[in-house]
């Protein structure tokens, strides 16, 4: 037995099909987790149900008490995350944000996001996949890093659930991009970074892998960004 139809529907509507932990929009790729496991007496109830993306579900399930690594989510922590997300979804019902206080807060967040990402043509560089075209300025990855740090701040968050979901997806993919930069590029002269040129001769496979990784990820990041900007303009500035 699992959650019944009513619980499933209530949970999916309450979360707007976004993951309750990382907030990304999941569509059909969403799973319903028992906060208290059934073997521990957890019920198939709305209160015990937690909508999660595949990644966060794996993360919540993976913790092995025999080999503790990191900090396990507690049941009450999961519930608090979920409830605050449900509240956000409820507050942002409808495509237009009607509460003018929320609108102003979200406009400020949107402008801050734009300033962080648009400055020095960061997103243009990512769209062009400048990482594979030879040395690039350090400030590219420093700007990404700065954005990721800002995302840790509680006030850098959209009240609107759709916008926050898109921002969360963008953040996750920028995190992946940042990891690729650390993995595949090295200092190349003052304030520059590059995939090492010598890989072409010495480690062609490593070079191919680096190019492949960047080429796969950069269009996804650009796409996340453009979707967020378009929806933000529509939701925040259309009226
Ligand atoms: Zn998630």
- Report domain extents, the chain: 5-91, 100-237
3-state secondary structure of 3: coil
Ligand 1 center–CA 191 separation, angstroms:
35
pLDDT in tens, 72-122: 888 999 999 999 999 988 877 665 666 788 889 999 999 999 999 986 589
Q: How far apart are CA 218 and CA 178, in angstroms?
A: 11
pLDDT at 229: 94
Ligand 1 center–CA 197 separation, angstroms:
37
pLDDT at 239 over 70: no
Ligand 1 center–CA 164 separation, angstroms:
13
Q: How far apart are CA 179 and CA 86, in angstroms?
A: 31
Structure tokens at 230: 């378009």
Q: Between the CA of residue 88 and those of 102, 103, 194, what are the distances in Å? A: 11, 13, 42
Structure tokens at 141: 């990855």
Ligand 1 center–CA 51 separation, angstroms:
9
Structure tokens at 94: 């409808």
3-state secondary structure of 18: strand
Q: Residue 155's beta-bridge partner residues?
A: none
pLDDT in tens, 162-190: 999 999 999 999 999 999 999 999 999 89
3-state secondary structure of 52: strand
Half-sphere exposure (CA, 13 Å, Cβ side) for 109?
Answer: 23
CA 196 from centre of chain: 29
Measured in Å, how far apart are the chain's first and last C-alpha atoms?
A: 48
pLDDT in tens, 185-208: 999 989 999 999 999 999 999 999
Ligand 1 center–CA 30 separation, angstroms:
9
pLDDT at 71: 77
Evaluate whether 186 touches 196 at the Cβ level (below 8 Å): yes
Ligand 1 center–CA 15 separation, angstroms:
12
**pTM (2 decimals)?**
0.77
- What is the arrangement of strands in the sheet containing 192-194, beginning at the earlier edge strand? 136-137, 192-194, 186-187
Q: What DSSP character marks residue 95?
A: S
Ligand 1 center–CA 209 separation, angstroms:
27
pLDDT at 68 over 80: no
- pLDDT category at 238 given cuts 50, 70, 90 is confident
Long-range contact pairs involving 68-71 (C-beta distance under 8 Å, separation at least 24): none
Structure tokens at 187: 């200092």
Render 139-163 in DSSP notation, one character per residue: HHHHHHHHHHHHHTSTTS--SSHHH
């Amino acid at each position: 037995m699992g959650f019944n139809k009513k619980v499933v529907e209530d949970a999916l509507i309450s979360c707007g099909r976004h993951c309750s932990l990382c907030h990304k929009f999941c569509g059909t790729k969403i799973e319903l987790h028992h906060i208290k496991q059934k073997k521990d007496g957890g019920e198939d109830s709305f209160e015990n149900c937690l909508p999660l993306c595949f990644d966060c579900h794996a993360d919540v399930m993976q913790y092995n008490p025999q080999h503790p690594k990191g900090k396990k989510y507690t049941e009450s922590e999961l519930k608090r995350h979920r409830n605050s997300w449900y509240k956000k979804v409820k507050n942002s019902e409808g495509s237009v944000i009607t509460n003018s206080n929320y609108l102003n807060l979200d406009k400020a967040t949107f402008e801050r996001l734009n300033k962080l990402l648009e400055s020095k043509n960061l997103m243009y560089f990512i769209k062009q996949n400048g990482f594979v075209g030879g040395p690039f300025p350090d400030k590219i990855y420093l700007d990404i890093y700065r954005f990721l740090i800002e995302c840790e701040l509680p006030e850098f968050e959209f009240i609107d659930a759709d916008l926050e979901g898109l921002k969360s997806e963008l953040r996750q993919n920028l995190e992946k991009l940042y990891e690729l930069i650390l993995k595949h590029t090295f200092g190349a002269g003052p304030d520059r970074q590059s995939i090492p040129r010598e890989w072409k001769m010495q480690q062609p496979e490593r070079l191919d892998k680096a190019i492949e990784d960047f080429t796969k990820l950069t269009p996804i990041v650009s796409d996340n960004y453009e979707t967020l900007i378009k929806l933000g303009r529509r939701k925040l500035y259309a009226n």
